[in-house]
Structure formats: C-alpha cells, structure tokens
Amino acid sequence: MVRKADRRNLKGVTKKSVGEAVYELLTPDLNGALEAQWIVSPPGHDTSATPFRHSGEEFGIILSGRKDIFLDGECYTLEEGDSITFSSDTPHWYKNSYEEVCVAIWVNAPHAW
C-alpha cells in the first residue's frame, strides 16, 4: 500500500524534459513486476528531446487535461478518460501542447528502470 502523502517522487530518475512535470510512484518500489506512476504534466511539458525506448509494455489513462503521445513519430492525442497501451520497445515521447495541466496514471510492465 502507498498512501498519497508517502508517494516517492521520481524526479531525477526520469529523463530530462522541457517543463517540470511531477512523477510520483504509486507502487511501493521499483522492484516489482510492474510500476505505476501518477504524472502531472504542465503546459509545455515535452520529452521529445530524449525519446524513451525499453523493454515491456505500457498503459496510460488521462484523468484530466490532454496529452500528445508519440509512438515512433505518430501522434495520438488523448483526452480525459482516454487510454492507450503500447510496446515500450517502440520509441515514444510525450508532449502537453495545451493550456491546461494534464494528470495521468501510467503503468509499465515490467518497469522501465
């Protein structure tokens, strides 16, 4: 169990990006078969300079706001309530091109770290 007040901030563990985002671990640690994160992306947040690519599979759901998900260069715009699943081996990056903050839950299995 992880209480909200006890979430581990993953700042410094994640790749550098434009715009400060909040990455909090929803699972107890990074040692399990999956990793779940609470991600708050401000307007302008952009990870395109350092695309992610690793083993496993990812699932994301947008709780509020919007976010562009790029998979091998193809853009998918997700809005509140939308979700996506993809192979983590596909080069991927994220961008909040909108005026509102985006809040999402992201799950990696196995985790990316």
The string over 1-30, giving b where at least 16 C-beta atoms fall within 10 Å of a residue's C-beta and e elsewhere, is eeeeeebbebeeebeebeeebbbbbbbeee
Strand-pair category, 74-79 with 66-71: antiparallel
- Just give the CATH number of 4-109: 2.60.120.10
Phi, psi of 6, rounded to the nearest 5 degrees: -105, 10
Q: Using an 8 Å Cβ cutoff, are 47 and 94 in contact?
A: yes
pLDDT tens column, 54-98? 999 999 999 999 999 999 999 999 999 999 999 999 999 999 999
CA 80/CA 19 separation, integer angstroms: 21
Q: Where are the domains of the chain?
A: 4-109
Report the C-alpha dihedral over residues 31, 16, 56, 101, rounded to 10 degrees: 100
pLDDT digits (tens, 9 = 90+) for 35-47: 999 999 999 999 9
pTM of the model: 0.89
